[in-house]
Chains A and B, each alone.
Chain A
Amino acid sequence: MKFSTKGRYGLRAMIDLAVYSNEEQHVALGSIAQRQGISTNYLEHVFSELRKSGLVKSIKGAQGGYLLSESPSDIKVGRILRVLEGSLSVIDEDSDNTAGSESVIRNCIKTSVWDKMNARLNELVDSLTLEDLAYDYRERNGIDNTMYYI
């Protein structure tokens, strides 16, 4: 049961952007690629979706790059993951159409297990902001957190 590479790399790239950009400084994809060990090509693909969803803004040109479009403490991790992964569900909602889908057992499993897991998963990812993850990143990498702490 895995998140896709888009979700995993996209989240790491957003954390990187939150840590290394601010209102004046945009960040070039190449630098994110280098720090995070992700190919620039792949990041372009991911960032075009992030831009379309309004999470990041791009600055064009040779000195170009990306900025977060909102403050990281206003961006829930859940929102980022939903943009990159679609709805967050532990099962593939569409493939529930095998024979006997009216089954009582199947419904019991749906309400007692899948729905419960999905609810807790969404609760968790919506309880965390990009700033929470950026803070953790700075702690782990010895980057000063005090400047960013309000």
Chain B
Amino acid sequence: MKISTKGRYGLEAIVDLAIHSSEGRVNLKSISERCGISEAYMLQIFLILRRAGIVESTRGTQGGYALSTEPSKITVGDVLTALEGPFAPVVCITEKAKHTCDRYKKCTARSFWERVMNTLSDVANSITIEDLVECYKSNIPLNTELDYYI
């Protein structure tokens, strides 16, 4: 029951984007370098995030990516479900499977899995990208990135 690298790297990249957005649009190359991830993989991730409406992009020399809204309005849940799909720990509780499993109503395990799913998505939906940016700001070494220090 694991969140894939897509979800993990995507979340990291979004936080990185939020941190560096005060300079304007951020290009993929710089995000990839800071996160230590290949630009090609990052591109795949950002295509998904763009389709999901979490980031916007512009082309050209001053081009790059920006969050589509304030970091306080984007939750970890938004990012993870865009990249990973719903938090369903088993396929049978997703919308599709509802109509294909003949045990659906009588299944005890299903209601347990739903509780697992709700627990995880509640946590994810309660954390915003802004929260993670705040954590970053309070943890960076004192003599770096002074423009972020209030």
Contacts and interface: CB of A to CB of B under 8 A. Distances in A.
Q: Which of A1, A7, A88, A116 has the most CB of B within 10 A?
A: A1
Contacts of A133: 108-109, 112
B90 interface: yes
A10 B116 CA distance: 16
Most buried by A among B1, B84, B120: B1
Could you say which interface size class chain A belongs to?
Answer: 35 or more
A112 B131 CA distance: 9
A43 interface: no
Given A105-B12, A105-B16, A140-B107, A2 B91 contact: yes
Given A105-B132, A137-B108, A91 B140 contact: no
Interface stretch (A20-28, A47-55, A117-125): A117-125
Interface of B: 1-5, 7-8, 11-12, 15-16, 19, 34-37, 76, 84, 87-91, 103, 105-109, 111-113, 115-116, 119-120, 122-124, 127, 131-132, 135-136, 139-140
